[in-house]
Amino acid sequence: MDRPGYQIRDNISLPDSLGPVRVDVTRDDSYRIHVLADVDSAVRTLLAELDDRHAVVITDQVVADLHAGRFTSALADRGLLLGVHAMPAGEKSKSLTTAFELIDWLAEVDFARRDVVVALGGGVVVDTAGFVASAYMRGVPYVNVPTTLLAQVDAGIGGKVAVDHSEAKNLVGAFYQPRAVISCLEHLSTLDARQVRSGLAEVVKKAVIASPQLFEFIEERVDELVACASPAIGVLVHAAGAIKTELVSRDPYEADLRRSLNFGHTTGHAVETVTGYGPVLHGEAVAFGMAVAVDVARDRGLVVPGVADRIIGLIRRLGLPVTLRELAGQPAVDDVLAAMTKIRQIRDGSLRFVLPVEPGTTIIAEDVTEDEVRRALLRDRTAAP
């Protein structure tokens, strides 16, 4: 039986000259962020987003035991599950070694280009699985199902995917948007208090740089948010997603490296690098990095003392570190400064600090000196303002 074919006709003219050929390439990415109360709703939404495509589930060994069963069973029951891969839990798995292992595994299970990677887990899982999806077959679809607060409010959103390197955090990566993000609030009930606080640090960041209303919301509901109790936590996750996507949509590929979303990350990434990616949680490093940036801004007269104290006070009320000695491993000042020097080299010689003026207003400074940073790193912020 003859099969119908597709006829394609072109009639492309030769160029008029031997000068440079202009190449215009655009990409239009869009996806939905679902914030759902329970696992049943999350499973139904995942099946709808897959639209009968086959899928693999990439997770870690802790999340596999806690949350993977209902998702994998639903996929298997419909004949859509190609396989499940559970990496060791923890930041050390966010590596090229893990990425290569996952790529080999995708090839072994005959993963095809229209199939979908489901990233079920926290920031390490969604970052690593997203990077693998960006590289395998030059890019395959992936869906994020973030299970930690940090991943639901930040890591799972925005399409920045990467793995760590001994020289710097997130050194190897890509800009590659997910097919969908499905955040299930029921998953947050299994988090310990430290993981919750780590996630809240990224929400404070968004509030300081972009939303006075969100900042006030957090101030008024500290105890409820630390307890990770609904409905406040649902409002927080939804708001954080809306704010980050609005900011990212203005420059999705970071053509302009001067981004307010990096508030707290210049120091925070350096802390994570020198402590070996693990002892200090990402949100804890960012919280300390925000405190450093606040004090640089205070010393420069960019932020009035009352506002600076308000920001530092909120970070402390959430139980997050604001001094070096509160960080696991207590990294040495000189080691942190050396890691920041490496970041400066990677970023074309500039060490960009996002300095707060007031909630919703920041300044991107490229002239912060080592002496300024050293003073801020050594600052004692344990006394109440």
Q: Is 202 a catalytic residue?
A: yes
Per-residue pLDDT in tens (0 to 9) along the chain, 385 residues: 456 677 899 999 998 889 998 898 888 889 999 999 999 999 999 999 999 999 999 999 999 999 999 999 999 999 999 999 999 999 999 999 999 999 999 999 999 999 999 999 999 999 999 999 999 999 999 999 999 999 999 999 999 999 999 888 899 999 999 999 999 999 999 999 999 999 999 999 999 999 999 999 999 999 999 999 878 999 999 999 999 999 999 888 887 756 899 999 999 999 999 999 989 999 999 999 999 999 999 999 999 999 999 999 999 999 999 999 999 988 999 999 999 987 776 566 667 899 999 999 999 998 999 999 999 999 988 765 4
Is 287 part of any domain? yes
Does one domain contain both 243 and 349? yes
Q: Is 254 a catalytic residue?
A: yes
Of 167, 216, 254, 370, the catalytic one is 254
Over the Cα atoms of the chain, what is R_g?
22
Residues 298-321 as b or e (16 or more Cβ within 10 Å = b): beeebbeeebbbbbbebbbebebb
Torsion of CA 314, 317, 319, 321, to 10 degrees: 50
Q: Is 160 a catalytic residue?
A: yes
Does one domain contain both 186 and 67? yes
Q: Is 244 a catalytic residue?
A: yes
Of 262, 272, 316, 381, the catalytic one is 262
Of 94, 265, 352, 381, the catalytic one is 265
Residue 173: which CATH number?
Answer: 3.40.50.1970
Strand pairing of 172-175 and 160-163?
antiparallel
Could you tell me the two tokens for 114?
Answer: 């229209």
Does one domain contain both 169 and 244? no
Q: Is 258 a catalytic residue?
A: yes
Structural domain count, the chain: 2
Of 9, 22, 27, 138, the catalytic one is 138
Is 384 part of any domain? no
Domain of 152 in residue numbering reads as 32-190
Of 269, 310, 352, 381, the catalytic one is 269
Is 236 part of any domain? yes
Of 54, 197, 282, 316, the catalytic one is 282
